[in-house]
Structure 1
Amino acid sequence: MSLRFKAISEATSPNPDEKNSKRQRIDLGNGSEVVYIPRFLTLDESWKLFDYLNKEIPWTRPTIRVFGRSCVQPRDTCYVASEGLPDLVYSGYQPHAYSWDDFPPLKDMLEAVHKALPGSRFNSLLLNRYKGGNDNVGWHADDEKLYGSTPEIASVSFGCEREFLLKKKPSKSSQERKVDDEPARKRLKKSSNSDQHSFTLKHGSLLVMRGYTQRDWIHSVPKRQKAEATRVNLTFRLVL
């Protein structure tokens, strides 16, 4: 199976005035930036790829270590990378690295992302599948050394819309750690608007984190009881 994508942009959208086709830029300050395109792919392309990903990807739900404890990761995952890259290891787990040739539609998707982001380059892909509202990813930053000091991460979402939260990294004081134990929505209400951002990641959308976002900010996809359907997310990264 091979798909050729026509990513929507302000210039190519059949309806240039449609709000969802326009890219939004959010300056986070100090060299950090987020770009969000609510309608990166057409609905038809998005559903075709969602069905392929949901059925054909060899998903696994690994056991990881968080704060010294072993637990089952609350989402399914898969990893694709170019040949010869260093191994990816997170939370004590090292996923098997599949080849781009194993999944031709993902090679097409990589090409579409590169075309939409001139000057950007990605050589690895971490896939996540959230099968319901209890599946989530906690607060973290993708600041592993293999991504360099200013990693760019392009995230494409399919299926159920989920809330994506972004906030400035807390200090290491005990007071901040105590606050970080509170529910995500309650914490956001306590923060100033400049210290937190929330996006509802739509089916076929693209969100890009650039600059020092991983150094200065953390992000999460929290639990949501009303999110009953499946969501699949692709995060393209450059391993140095």
Structure 2
Amino acid sequence: MFAPAHQNVLPFDGEVHLYPNFYEEEGSLDIFEQLKHSILWKQDKMKIYGKMVNFARLTSWYADGDQEYTYSGVVNTPIPFTPLLRQIKEAAEQQCGKQFNSALLNYYRHGGDSMGWHSDDEKELADNPVIASASFGATRTFQFKHKQQKNAKVSIALNNGSLLIMQGATQHNWLHQVPKTTKQPGPRINITFRDIKY
């Protein structure tokens, strides 16, 4: 599905476009259920202040090829793309005119699951990476804050069937997160497609 260009949601120093209804609503709920049951989810851990703690979400790593990918100290061995994942990936590729060879999946089971402030700036990514983020399931808030100008913040809602494309200097200048919420929004699955340089 090709969606028309949208206004940049960042005020400066980056380029982020949101397509709220990129995937059809009814089909998106079916996609969520298929991903929930077919993806090989795992509970990763990371070291914080000398202690190993669980990630506040479940994750999975799919990719073409057999190269490992490391982020947050976790080494990920790729799983081959499923037909459904490849279909979602190809739609995102058509939208942004970029080829992707890998996908990080996050399963937010409830409002207590989250992802803290970070940039997608690992050495395996290009200097100005294009990252396409597809969301299925419950709506969650997605936030940006500028690395230097701390008062520059942006919050958007990522709803079921939405596609978010981050590109340009976004990862150099902005952090992003999915914060915890005391509400119970229901489960959500997010797929971030990227092009890893092996």
Q: How does 1:201-216 map to 2 (within 5 A)?
A: 201-216=158-173
TM-score by length of 2: 0.93
Aligned equivalent of 1:94, options 72, 75, 80 = 75
Aligned to 1:105: 84
Shift of 1:9: 2.3
The CA distance in 1 between the partners of 2:43 and 2:122, in whole Å, is 21
Aligned to 2:6: 23
Aligned to 2:116: 138
Could you tell me whether the CA contact under 8 Å between 1:8 and 1:39 is conserved in 2? Answer: no
Extract unaligned runs of 5+ from structure 1: 1-6, 11-21, 172-189
Largest Rg, 1 or 2 = 1
- CA shift digits 1:33-88 (9 cap, x unpaired): 00100101101221111010011111111111245432100000000011154x21
Shift of 1:115: 1.2
Aligned to 2:28: 46
The CA distance in 1 between the partners of 2:121 and 2:34, in whole Å, is 30
Aligned to 1:3: none
Could you tell me whether the CA contact under 8 Å between 2:66 and 2:78 is conserved in 1? Answer: no
SS of corresponding position for 2:112? coil
Tell me which stretches of 4 or more aligned residues in structure 1 moved more than 4 Å: none
Aligned to 2:55: 73
Shift of 1:123: 0.8
Could you tell me whether the CA contact under 8 Å between 1:23 and 1:38 is conserved in 2? Answer: no
Shift of 1:104: 0.7
Aligned to 1:4: none
Could you tell me whether the CA contact under 8 Å between 2:45 and 2:54 is conserved in 1? Answer: yes
Letter in 2 for 1:60: K
Shift of 1:218: 0.2
SS of corresponding position for 2:32? helix
Extract unaligned runs of 5+ from structure 2: none
- Cα RMSD of the aligned pairs, angstroms, is 1.8
Letter in 1 for 2:176: H
- CA shift digits 1:112-153 (9 cap, x unpaired): 1111112x1211100000000100000011110100211111
Pair 8,227 (structure 1): closer, same or farther in 2 beyond 3 Å: farther
Shift of 1:24: 3.4
Shift of 1:27: 4.7
Pair 27,73 (structure 1): closer, same or farther in 2 beyond 3 Å: closer
Aligned equivalent of 2:179, options 209, 214, 222 = 222
The CA distance in 2 between the partners of 1:149 and 1:27, in whole Å, is 19
SS of corresponding position for 1:94? strand
Aligned equivalent of 1:158, options 130, 136, 139 = 136
Letter in 1 for 2:113: D
The CA distance in 2 between the partners of 1:66 and 1:82, in whole Å, is 31
Q: Which has the higher helix share?
A: 1
Q: How does 1:110-189 map to 2 (within 5 A)?
A: 110-118=89-97, 120-170=98-148
- CA shift digits 1:184-205 (9 cap, x unpaired): xxxxxx82xxx11100101000
